[in-house]
Amino acid sequence: MSALDAARALFAELTGREPEGVWSAPGRVNLIGEHTDYNEGFVLPFAIPHRTFAAARVRDDDRIRVASTFADERVEVALTDLDALFPTAPGAEPAVPEWSAYVLGVAWALLAAAGDAPARGVDIAIASDVPVGAGLSSSAAIEGAVASALNDLWRLGLDPVALAQVGRRAENEAVGAPTGIMDQMASMLGRPDAATFIDCRSLATESVPTGFTGEGLEVLVIDTQVTHSHSTGGYRERREACERGAALLGIRSLRDASEADLPRAAELMDDVTLRRVRHVITENQRVLDTVRTLAEHGPRMIGDLLVASHASMRDDFEISVAELDLAVETALAQGAIGARMTGGGFGGAAIALVAHDDVEKVSDAVARAFADAGFAAPHVFTVHPSDGPRRDI
């Protein structure tokens, strides 16, 4: 059963009725630019074909009821009670099951953003084929699908960037995960055959053709099956280190620093903070270099930038794990143009840019390497830049 059909079936089970519509939003792969978004820097993600579906229908009362194929429980609250549930302090457990906080949090943030939004209740059923915990932003896909559904059902008329901001607020304040806005923007602004260059300070965006298809290239996702969570401590510690580094440099955020500032940073900071700062500064430059290289030389010339990004995340930001390093090393040894971990780190997935004819060879080699190392078998598949949110039914 497809995820779309699963959402419809779950809705019928929940309510005994057909949904008024089904809306979906994609996960994303970040081509390059990791942990730069909350530092007001630059990122270059693209939406992927894997999507989360929200089947929904308005109710005759003011209650919101949600269900998901990922959980047995159903959660129901009054819209007027959402303010008492959120915001959630960073790192604290939400007052409702975490999966439902993504859905209810979007409703709460939408009502706050819209001001005079009608307080009509709604039933929502969620299903998804975005791998959870793989660094492909399953959370932003939920937020985008739910925000798109409620935006239509409540006739709010918010644009994609406003809906991305709603999703980020839900994740930060309802779920308690201190993420930036890259994931939501990537999901909401997806385009076929293009990545989205995002200035995370101004929220200015540019659609950047990748040229993958014309060059016979594939983006191979290697899901290590090592799950992660942005609401846990490692992610927060990295963000706090970046904020500490910016404060020591006397700047608003690390976006305002360049490689020329690193010698001064070395005098002001302990070794760990310096390395966190160095990653963000150099990663911002790598994003800019990748955008320029794609335009001037094409995708076959971005490999070194991807490899350098992974080394920076492994050594300076220290968010890789053995499985991710092995995936990257094996893909490169088998001829990948470039490879890097993608997502927040501490597990999740790596990506490899490979020739179409080499997909099977690289995939098989990674599977063998994981087996030889005693790791769980990875889930390996290809993705391509795809559309953002849509109403499917």
Give catalytic residues, as residue numbers: 183
Question: Rounded distance, CA 194 to CA 36, Å?
Answer: 20
234 is in an annotated binding site: no
Annotated binding-site residue? 54? no
Which residue in 177, 191, 195 sits closest to 232, CA to CA?
A: 177
Q: What are phi and psi of 172, to 5 degrees?
A: -70, -45
Strand partners, 191: 194
Q: How big is the CA angle at 223 (ends 92 and 355), to the nearest 5 degrees?
A: 140
* CA separation for the pair 100, 83 (Å, rounded): 15
Q: Is 37 annotated as a binding residue?
A: yes
Q: Which residues pair with 64 in a beta bridge?
A: 77, 122
- Contact assessment for residue 126 and residue 66, using Cβ atoms and an 8 Å cutoff: yes
Q: Judge whether 235 is annotated as a binding position.
A: yes
- 102 carries a ligand binding annotation: no
Q: Is 36 annotated as a binding residue?
A: yes
- Give the whole-angstrom CA distance, residue 158 versus residue 171: 18
Find out whether 34 is annotated in a ligand binding site: yes
Q: How far is CA 46 from CA 228, 355, 360, 380, in A?
A: 21, 19, 23, 18
H or E element that contains 230: none
* Annotated binding-site residue? 116: no
- Residue 11: count other Cβ atoms within 10 Å of its Cβ: 26
How is residue 379 written in tokens?
Answer: 């889930």
Q: Are 187 and 25 in contact (CB under 8 A)?
A: yes
- Residues annotated in a binding site for Mg(2+): 139, 171
Q: Which residues are annotated as a binding site?
A: 34-37, 68, 133-139, 171, 235
- Annotated binding residues for ATP: 68, 133-139
